[in-house]
Amino acid sequence: MKSLEELRAIREKAREQMTLRKEDGPQSTRVIVGMATCGIAAGARPVLAAAVEQVSRRKLENVSVTQTGCIGVCRLEPIVEVLAPGEEKVTYVKMTPEMMEKVIAEHIVNNRVVKEYTIGAEEPGPAAN
Amino acid sequence: MDFVRSHILVCGGTGCTASKSPLLIEEFGKQLKAAGLEREVMVIQTGCFGLCELGPVVVVYPEGAFYSRITPADVETIVSEHILKGRIVARLLYHETVSHDSVNSLNDTNFYKKQLRIALRNCGVINPENIDEYIAMDGYQALAKALTEQTPDEVIQIMIDSGLRGRGGAGFPTGRKWQYAKSYKGDQKYVLCNADEGDPGAFMDRSILEGDPHSVIEAMIIAGYAIGASQGYIYVRAEYPIAVQRLEKAIGQAREYGLLGQNIFGTGFGFDLSIRLGAGAFVCGEETALIASIEGCRGEPRPRPPFPAERGLFGRPTMNNNVETYANIPWILINGTEAFAAIGTENSKGTKVFALGGKIVNTGLVEVPMGTTLREVIEEIGGGCPGGKKFKAAQTGGPSGGCIPAEHIDKPIDYESLSAIGSMMGSGGLIVMDEDNCMVDMARYFLDFTVDESCGKCTPCRIGTRRLHQMLDKFTEGRATLEDIDMMEELCAHISKNSLCALGQTASNPVLSTLRYFRDEYEAHVRDRKCPARVCKSLLQYLIIDKCRGCTACKRVCPTDAISGEVKKLHVIDQEKCVKCGACMETCKFAAIIKE
Ligand SMILES: Cc1cc2nc3c(=O)[nH]c(=O)nc-3n(C[C@H](O)[C@H](O)[C@H](O)COP(=O)(O)O)c2cc1C
């Protein structure tokens, strides 16, 4: 180790890899991908991979990507929920990796819900959410 | 590039390794591969989580799901349910983390919520075999700062201001020790790390070396810089193979990164480290014996002064600290003396790690702020005595320490208050005893240990401890008189005063402290020829009472044919033949056999 910069560079890189192991703070946003059999069959795995990749690429702090089981509306899978502190849960349906990228860019980074992907857009009416 | 979405942490401490955690890692590898997940899920072996009772332990992130007592058969379930489908397997979770179907953070469980982890900060968090993970947790930042921004005197001043005291037993202020070591000139100076950990029941130092070896290495380099030493030795017992292997790996990685060797951070300062294996003698933890052992001589202590700071290893100025003492140091340099001094009590700053053992539900490793009460440690964190038994006493300081009776359970744990009640902080072994433990027998157990471990160099310790042990035998066998109590006290004083090193000087403590708090128990062994806790065999009788249905089960298990009786009639035990093994009592389904 010849310099402090070298140490710093190693630290930054290793930190990125370890963000997964942080306990969620109250200020963190959670992106939850439905990964039950129905979700996986409908293509949730690449959606999950896209979410993880985007969060990691953009070095988003306080955002965790987790999975959950069957949410109950299997025909709308892959389903992704976004839980941001102090906001209502937003449920995105029939997701693809490309849509996931857009949700991260718009919703998580710029704080603008991508309305056209939400369950409300897909199935209008009170019963939907 | 692959993006890892989940980390599976598997405990690789000695406890979990003994309960086959390496098999789990292998099985995770296999199952993840079979599910095609090996590129997106990382399996990491960590150090000890502390909850050894529940091992092997597996934690899955990002959910932070804490799985306990996992078998290889459970691995498939965790992979197919949790990892693949995102359904946490509730039945395998540590029950305290589950409430109303939701998973709580481990930090909210009784075991963890009162803990404050400084020395153990990275244990169970990082992969100890990967230096990058240590660096990610601010590792080697303290060294970088010390070397590039602080003078040796400034580093020493920080240690003094922090109030850190040695965790190896004696509690000597670390900063002052560094100051002495710096003040002596020499062509070569040494920094030592005492990882002998001979106190029976203690495994704090082992867990730190296994879970976070770089924290000790970093601190030793800093110590070298502060006192002007360029070579260090870690003296670790050969019975700690995992710790040794991880240390070796860590030293290799530190060398590769140029954190050990010449010209560290381009400052011109150089330092290197070697490991020396001890053969597991308790006395080799005493620093002058440790030095002799590193030199290749018999592990025997010598009188001090001269202190090692003046004339230590190979006759050169030497500074020795304990593993846990070192593990605190990088944290202090990064977080500042105020942060450290804010934790703890007036004269005992920071935290202390304890190895909980004996009659306690959560056997394991805990780190609490100094000043935490024994009650908090035993009842809240430790979960109390199993089976609803009553807490009787706790032994701290192992064979050199004393017992703390139930009446002092609300005393804060720090150096001064433990000495005031006749015990000592010691290195951190904490053995819990309940109503079924005989205090005379307990004192005898520790004397047994010191008799074996006395190196034999000085007479008071070599002969004195043996005589003391024989006197204790008289009590447990019902041959003692009341005068023996006085004689024993006299002998204790003699051994303490005249022994060469602290092994002998403290060997009487278990006897003195049990005499202080449980004198009536000694007296009962003499006057009533009874062992109130029903432990000392010579003073016990097994008897069959009229609940006996004559099932003959006891008769069949008795190894000495001491039980007679016809079917469906009351059986009797021939006291002459009985060897008091207790097999009959365990077998009896009718609670018809008692011991008194
Ligand atoms: C019999 C005996 C055994 C000891 N065993 C240990 C030990 O295993 N580990 C340890 O750090 N200190 C042990 N010590 C204390 C050391 O002599 C020394 O005080 C300590 O390593 C200093 O480090 P510290 O100032 O960081 O506590 C022992 C002392 C005696 C008398």
Paired residues of B193 in beta bridges:
B234, B321
- Chain A residues whose beta carbon lies within 8 Å of the beta carbon of residue B4: 17, 20, 52
Quote the pTM value. Answer: 0.91
CATH architecture of the domain with residue range B131-340: 3-Layer(aba) Sandwich (3.40)
Does residue B194's CB lie within 6 angstroms of at least one atom of ligand 1?
A: yes
When scoring B4, B80, B135 by the number of chain A Cβ atoms within 10 A, the one with the most, hence best to mutate, is: B135
Contacting B with CB below 8 Å, chain A residues are 1-4, 7, 10-11, 13-15, 17-18, 20-21, 23-24, 33-37, 39-40, 48-49, 52-53, 56, 64-69
Q: What residue's CA is closest to ligand 1, atom 31?
A: B502
Interface with A, mutate which of B61, B79, B147, B253 (most A CBs under 10 A): B61
SS (H, E, C) A16-78: HHHHHHCCCCCCCEEEEEECCHHHHHHCHHHHHHHHHHHHHHCCCCCEEEEEECCCCCHHHCC
Query: Which residues is A5 bridged to in the sheet?
Result: none
Give me the DSSP letters along B330-351. HHHHHH-HHHHHTSB-SSSBSE
Say whether pLDDT at A32 is over 60.
yes
Q: Does the beta carbon of B170 lie inside 6 Å of ligand 1?
A: yes
Residue B98 φ/ψ, nearest 5 degrees: -110, 125
Ligand 1: does its nearest atom lie under 6 Å from the Cβ of B514?
A: no
At A24 the pLDDT is 66
Question: Which numbered atom of ligand 1 lies nearest the CA of B453?
Answer: 1
| CA B64 from centre of chain | 27
B499 C-beta closer than 6 A to ligand 1 = no
Structure confidence at residue B100 (pLDDT): 64
Instruction: Tell me the domain boundaries of chain B.
Output: 6-112, 131-340, 351-434, 439-527, 541-595
* B64 chain-A contacts, CB cut-off 8 A: 23-24
Nearest CA in chain B to A31: B62
Q: Is B197 in the pocket of ligand 1 (CB under 6 A)?
A: yes
Amino acid occupying residue B21: S
Residue B157: half-sphere exposure toward Cβ, Cα within 13 Å: 6
Total Cβ atoms within 10 A of residue B104: 16
At the topology level, CATH places domain B6-112 in Glutaredoxin (3.40.30)
- Classify B151 as helix, strand or coil: coil
Residue ranges making up the domain that contains A74: 29-122
- Tell me, what DSSP letter sits at residue B261? B
CATH of the domain at A64: 3.40.30.10
Q: Do A52 and B3 touch (CB under 8 A)?
A: yes
Protein fold of B351-434: Ubiquitin-like (UB roll) (3.10.20)
Tokens encoding B186 = 């020499």
CB contact under 8 A, A14 and B135: yes
**Identical topology for domains B131-340 and B541-595:** no
- Residue A7 is assigned to a structural domain of this protein: no
The pLDDT tens digits for A68-94 are 877 778 888 899 999 888 888 899 999
Give the integer Cα–Cα distance in Å for B27 and B102: 27
Instruction: Give the A:B interface size as CB pairs under 8 Å.
Output: 91
For B541-595, the fitting CATH number among 3.40.50.620, 3.40.50.10800, 3.40.50.150, 3.30.70.20 is: 3.30.70.20
Question: Is residue A59 domain-resident?
Answer: yes
Q: Is the pLDDT of residue A127 over 50?
A: no
List per-residue pLDDT tens for chain B, 596 residues long.
467 889 999 999 999 999 999 999 999 999 999 988 888 899 999 999 999 999 899 999 988 899 999 999 999 999 999 998 888 899 999 988 777 666 677 888 889 989 999 999 999 999 999 999 999 999 999 999 999 999 999 999 999 999 999 999 889 999 999 999 999 999 999 999 999 999 998 999 999 999 999 999 999 999 999 999 999 999 999 999 999 999 999 999 999 999 999 999 999 999 999 999 999 999 999 999 999 999 999 999 999 999 999 999 999 999 999 999 999 999 999 999 999 999 999 999 999 999 999 999 999 999 999 999 999 999 999 999 999 999 999 999 999 999 999 999 999 999 999 999 989 998 899 999 999 999 999 999 999 999 999 999 999 999 999 999 999 999 999 999 999 999 999 999 999 999 999 999 999 999 999 999 999 999 999 999 999 999 999 999 999 999 999 999 999 999 999 999 999 999 999 999 999 999 999 999 999 999 98
In a domain, A24, yes or no: no
> Strand A90-92 relative to strand A80-83: parallel, antiparallel, unpaired?
antiparallel
Cβ atoms B311, B287 nearer than 8 A: no
> Would A93 be classed as within a structural domain?
yes
Q: Which CATH number does B439-527 carry?
A: 1.20.1440.230
